[in-house]
Structure 1
Amino acid sequence: MLKEITAMKPLSVATAACLPLALCLLPAAPALADPARSATTDALTVATFNASLNRDSPGQLLDDLATSGNTQASNVAETIQRVNPDIILINEFDYDANSAAVDLFRTNYLEVPHNGAQPVTYPYSWAGSVNTGVPSGFDLDGDGSTSGPSDAWGFGKFPGQYGFVVYSKYPIKTDQIRTFQNFLWKDMPGALLPTNADGSGWYSDEILQRFPLSSKTHADLPVDVDGTTVHVLAAHPTPPSFDGPEQRNKKRNFDEIRVWSDYVANRADYLYDDKGVKGGLSTDANFVILGDYNSDPLDGDSYPGAIDQLLTSPRIVDTMPTSQGGPSEAKLQGGANLKHKTDPKYDTGDFNDDPRPGNLRIDYVLPNTGTQVDEAQVFWPTRDDELFRLTGLHPFPTSDHRMVWTKLRFPAAEPPAPEQPNPGDQGQAGPSGAGKSGKLANSGTHVGLLGMIALTAGLGGALLIVQRRARRRRA
């Protein structure tokens, strides 16, 4: 290359005068992509787990977590450590106003090794108040009494029972959290409010003026994943069971699921959060729906189409996590499982098989369309696996639910637009005509060593060299 350059004739005065103009007329080489930025986020492991860390009386969970010796809590922590999710929703985790249980579980269990599993650290967490166990003062179940867990706004023996918590390795944007604990069921257009056999409403107008749709709460938690916001949409709809011909629980479950279906699909103008702000997510937002939704697409007691509101939404990816333990247990346990339509490899809950409902798929991790799914699993080992001790058989050592986890790559936030050079600012550094970056103004071509050498060569040779330089930058 140097021989080619030194053999060229010196520029004439006229040619040299034309060279700056000729250089400016060359096609600009495209700016190189930042190798540190890709079209997606790094792989993010996201999980949901109904861990059955609920207790029969207030304060009991705090007592159990105050030391590191609770066997069930240790099993829950080890299960989490084995998967090591970046973000996890834990359903059925009793709520207390000071989040003391959240901190105790983190310190005494998650950050302590279990049976060779490494500790996991979550600097960020969130737990909010829920409707379970909050007395309504009304006879909601029609048994003639206004007290008891079925007469609470969400089934529960005390306020906060069956709550949930989100742990995260990434910052939660606490100032942008939205909750929907107080949204009234009657305010959902076309709500499936239960009715009596004669068509009259199961609930009086007085009750409906206070009846919240969410049996716990629905929470939108924006998480900052290296500059990309992912909305964690957490909920735990009521089971579609334990009711009569009015189907009050089935219909409530359906509409609780519908909240997120509308929220992510630009159909939530009616929805107001607990601060009075209306509306749902923008259609270009990243999100992941997490939780125990108590609804199987084909089996169980759900109102028809309940979970399909999410699974068939064009805004949502059904990650379809699988396990080896699910099919094995369905076959070994038999009963209702033998008549199920859902493939047992998708099951996430181990329930009564005789007479019913059998094992079901009811726990979900559902990201937005455009998300890359690298892996999706249900933590359900087979009986010959050493880790089967964490799932086991009834009475379960940990929970009747199985952790569901996926490894996801969300569409990354767009990088800031590059600053356009000011035509009037020729800069202080670099050769004449170059800005502060060492680039020719309004050009993507760097002025490097070869460009300087070209100034001593003939015009044709100079153009040839610079063009070759530009072509290499495109490669």
Structure 2
Amino acid sequence: MAQISHVDPDILILANIDYDHGHAALTELNAQLAETIAPYPHRFTARPNTGLSTPFDIDGDGRTGRPRDAQGYGLFSGDGGMAILSRKPILSDQIRDLSTILWKDLPDARLPQTGNQPFFSEDILNVQRVSTTAHWIIPIDAGPRTIELLVFHASPPVFDGPEDRNGLRNADEIRLWQLFLNGKLPEKPAHPVILSGVVNLDPVDGQGRKKAIHDLLAHPSLQDPEPRSDGGKAAADLDHRGDPALDTADWPDGDPGNLRVDYILPDRSLTVENAGIFWPDPLPPDLFGEDGQAAGPHRIVWVDLKLP
């Protein structure tokens, strides 16, 4: 809460916020933020795939009804969802939700295998969505023109077996946006975009299929403002090869260490005036807690944009 108030963005994308049908949690958060900064009169959230139960043994451990057997990992439906708070009007009647796309229906989907056999049964393939949490297209009336937020929270490419189920899913969740931008899906961009979310893939360090994030960062429709922080540079992992100033998350136990896993990638038609990661050095305990983890391992990534 204190960190959000310090950064004070006009549009706030929240990840790992539990979803409830009446939006009570988001309403209360919004009310508390309004006590310290200008209010957010516009908001959006929807039921995520996290915790959405299936009747199948999705992870192949011989049991059903467990967190990894849901559409996306979750202890309950709505566990760790997403939400948008905005001072600019959200064009709710134009929101598009790609979260129900089946993994098998994604063009050129790379589905997990064990040996030369499919990891998923036909029944699972007929229900398994590619989105761990959600893929949303959120139009924002930004004054001179409309922009579209492309928002998602991808699966971490770990916590699986030799079939690399989560690694492959993470890569295809990222690739879904590339297909969208390339006009390869039924839904297509209608306005300049800002792609943002917890991508859970570092271009250099940590696990995962690096080609997915390299291809996204190199997409001709997008630009990478490369937000930086002094705190990330000061907390560098000596065994990592990536620029630590670009890291956006701090896992203090050293595994996987600090990584760049959170991104804001604006449309090339938009002018980036400034960008950064709220990770000061030293960390003020009143904002980050004595252990530096008051708001979890992820830091706030921000970008100031000028619209044409």
TM-score band, normalised by the shorter chain?
Answer: over 0.9
Q: Say which of 278, 294, 299 aligns to 1:402.
A: 299
> Shift of the alpha carbon at 1:403?
0.1
1:130 aligns with: 48
1:99 aligns with: 23
Q: Say which of 79, 97, 117 aligns to 1:200.
A: 117
Q: Distance in 2 between matches of 1:403 and 1:221?
A: 20
1:351 aligns with: 251
Q: Deviations over 1:242-272 (max 9, x none)?
A: 011100000000000111112123232xxxx
User: SS of the residue aligned with 1:82?
Assistant: helix
Q: Deviations over 1:44-70 (max 9, x none)?
A: xxxxxxxxxxxxxxxxxxxxxxxxxxx
Q: Say which of 157, 179, 189 aligns to 1:281.
A: 189
> Shift of the alpha carbon at 1:388?
4.7
> Shift of the alpha carbon at 1:393?
6.1
The one-letter code matched in structure 2 to 1:190 is: D
Q: How many residues align?
A: 308
> Shift of the alpha carbon at 1:370?
2.1
Q: Say which of 217, 229, 239 aligns to 2:146.
A: 229
Are 1:212 and 2:136 counterparts?
no
Q: Distance in 2 between matches of 1:394 and 1:207?
A: 42
Are 1:342 and 2:259 counterparts?
no
1:16 aligns with: none
> Shift of the alpha carbon at 1:288?
0.5
Structure of higher RCO (CA pairs closer than 8 Å, 6+ residues apart):
1
Are 1:361 and 2:266 counterparts?
no
Q: Distance in 1 between matches of 2:196 and 2:219?
A: 15
Q: Distance in 1 between matches of 2:87 and 2:103?
A: 34
| Paired residues for 1:225-374 under 5 Å | 225-268=142-185, 278-282=186-190, 285-330=191-236, 337-354=237-254, 356-374=255-273
> Shift of the alpha carbon at 1:102?
1.2
The one-letter code matched in structure 2 to 1:144 is: G
User: SS of the residue aligned with 2:216?
Assistant: helix
| Paired residues for 1:421-436 under 5 Å | none
Following TM superposition, the consecutive aligned residue runs of length 4 or more in structure 1 with deviations greater than 4 angstroms are 392-395
1:112 aligns with: 35
> Shift of the alpha carbon at 1:309?
2.6
8 Å contact 2:285–2:292 — kept in the other structure? Answer: no
Higher helix fraction (1 or 2): 1
8 Å contact 1:219–1:234 — kept in the other structure? Answer: yes
Q: Distance in 2 between matches of 1:84 and 1:213?
A: 33
| Paired residues for 1:147-166 under 5 Å | 147-166=65-84
User: SS of the residue aligned with 2:234?
Assistant: helix
Q: Distance in 1 between matches of 2:288 and 2:264?
A: 20
8 Å contact 2:47–2:81 — kept in the other structure? Answer: yes
Show structure 2 runs of 5+ residues with no match.
none
Distance 1:290 1:224, change over 3 A: same
Q: Distance in 2 between matches of 1:399 and 1:378?
A: 14
The one-letter code matched in structure 2 to 1:222 is: P
> Shift of the alpha carbon at 1:394?
4.3
8 Å contact 2:157–2:208 — kept in the other structure? Answer: yes
Q: Root-mean-square deviation (CA), in Å?
A: 1.4
The one-letter code matched in structure 2 to 1:112 is: E
Normalised by the size of structure 1, how large is the TM-score? 0.63
Q: Say which of 64, 83, 88 aligns to 2:12.
A: 88
User: SS of the residue aligned with 2:258?
Assistant: coil
User: SS of the residue aligned with 2:259?
Assistant: coil
Identity of aligned residues (%): 39
8 Å contact 2:276–2:301 — kept in the other structure? Answer: yes
Higher strand fraction (1 or 2): 2
